[in-house]
Amino acid sequence: MTFAFPGCFEKDILKNREGEHSKDFLITHFQGRSNEKLFPLGKDLPRAAVVSIGEMSVKTAHMLLPLMAAAGIRVFIKSNHERDKENLLDLNSIFRFLSSSGPSGVLFDIRIGGASPLKSIQETTALLLSLEEICEILKISSCSVLSSQHQPLGKAFGSPYAVLEILDFLNGRGPFDVNKLVLELGTNIMRLVGASSDRNAAKKHLKAKIMRGSALDSYKKYIIAHKGNARFFDDNSLLLAGKKKRRVRSMKKGYIIRISLERLFKNRALKISLSSLGLLFLKQTGDRIKIGDVLGEIAAPQPYDTSALLRAFNESIDFSDSPPLFSPFLLETSGILRRSSGLEEIKC
């Protein structure tokens, strides 16, 4: 199965020294991402599948795949692009993917709310029952990680900020929610394939791979192997070359109750592809804001007029006079491990 990245911030990292792009890695729709083609992983290593419902971001995959490669686990990811939402819940497609990839276990990364097709726990419960039936037919272990998509994951989106956030994660400095989700996914992958029977030991092992630089080294090897410009690992300013940075100041006041990337991406006033923009949110849901406070930063190719983007950034944020109710990011982790001694339930 081939490994493919959609065209987004990869246009900045997969450049050779002449500035040309590696066209093989610039596709806008992806199915079946795998770290098997990324790194020289042995065929006898454990194999896991990840099915993302609600769309796993490219950024998350760039963090998870090198981390699992450093842990010696082959991973295949199935997700759907936002434009293919009608197939997000296609159980036949999921069955075919799992049948063809032949994993030891499958992790269902399920997002609820926001732009996800799943809006409630009731809908999600019904879907989980169907997914469990598929795994029962295929006789494979399964685990589901449920998370909220009411707020964007992390702070950075698009080039160059998302690349910087990936590097922060691989260096052990990522945002709290990013660290929590990727480590939760990785921990359960290790349990699914039998690499670790203990949750705490699995998470500690992955953290060690990050802190010792193994995950970052895996990512760097990938960039070099595909003739990318790896100089940005040592000089992050290269990612901002040719881009104009602007701070975004708030036009409103109150408590932030929602940040809608979907609304921002669909803003027709922006006469530029958002894949070429960098967005950095410095505030999050629950923060109290005054008019003129800095909400974030944008990085756009010069000489693009950023005035419309500054307004769109503001319009993507909803305010209220009252703070929002607390809503946990990670909602639940549960599943069934198939052991030689019988079935073992995962419940956290």
- The dihedral built from the CA positions of residue 254, 259, 264 and 266, taken in this order, carries a sign that is negative
Q: Determine the average pLDDT of the residues in 209-233.
A: 87
Of all residues in the chain, the percent with pLDDT exceeding 90 is 35
Distance, CA of 117 to CA of 134 (rounded, Å): 20
Report yes or no: 345 and 292 within 8 Å, Cβ to Cβ.
Answer: no
pLDDT in tens, 263-303: 887 776 676 666 678 899 999 999 999 999 999 999 988 87
Residue in 57, 64, 137, 62 with CA at minimum distance from that of residue 94 = 137
307: confidence class by pLDDT, cuts 50, 70, 90: confident
Does the pLDDT at position 164 exceed 70?
A: yes
**Number of CB atoms found within 10 A of residue 332's CB:** 16
Give the pLDDT confidence score for residue 346 in this predicted structure: 60
Over 50: is that where the pLDDT of 197 sits? Answer: yes
Higher pLDDT among residues 226 and 140, named by residue: 140
Q: What is the mean pLDDT of the chain?
A: 79
Output the pTM of the full model: 0.84
CA angle 57, 60, 64 (to 5 degrees): 140
| Buried/exposed code over 255-270 (b: 16+ C-beta within 10 A; e: otherwise) | bbbebbbeebbeeeeb
Structure confidence by residue, pLDDT tens digits, 132-163:
999 999 999 999 999 888 788 899 988 789 88
Q: What are the strands of the beta sheet with 288-289, ordered from one edge?
A: 288-289, 254-259, 317-320
pLDDT for the residue 30: 28
Instruction: Please report the pLDDT score of residue 3 as a whole number.
Output: 30
Residue 13's pLDDT band (cuts 50, 70, 90): very low
List the domains of the chain with CATH numbers. Answer: 10-234+328-343 (3.40.1030.10), 241-320 (3.90.1170.30)
Q: What share of the chain in percent tops pLDDT 70?
A: 78
pLDDT given for residue 343 in this prediction: 57
